[in-house]
Amino acid sequence: MNTLLVMLGGGFGAMLRYVVGVFIMKRFQHPPIPIAMLIVNVIGSFGLGLFLGIFFRELDPIIYESPLFLLIGLGFFGAFTTFSTFSVETMQLLRDGKRKHALIYVLLSVSLSILFFSSAFFLTLN
């Protein structure tokens, strides 16, 4: 049952990531860094922070036993955000000799994702 919950949430998360990514790429056709995945990952981190803050109020490993977390936290947000695509895009920038762009992309992706997650999570605790 747990696997089915993760699969269901993951299917919706991956589908939405694709739709949002295509939407953003059509608006920003030749950005210096992969803006679509940056935005998706930051939105996903914010959403996960809100979700965890509202429904669990803490970051305890016990949440992995919750069907709600498996469906939404691990499944949906796990598939909506993507570290693998981030890695590929970073390597493409490096391959193309755009080291400065790669560094900016990495720093923005990691710092903004953590900032937005923690902001959303702590916002719900007040």
Q: Residue 22 — very low, low, confident or very high, per pLDDT cuts 50/70/90?
A: very high
- Residue 123, phi then psi, degrees to nearest 5: -60, -35
124 is in an annotated binding site: no
pLDDT at 125 > cutoff 80: yes
Which pLDDT value is given to residue 50? 97
Q: Quick: pLDDT tens for 79-89.
A: 999 999 999 99
44 is in an annotated binding site: no
Calculate mean pLDDT across residues 53-80.
Answer: 95
Q: Quick: pLDDT tens for 23-60.
A: 999 999 999 999 999 999 999 999 999 999 999 998 99
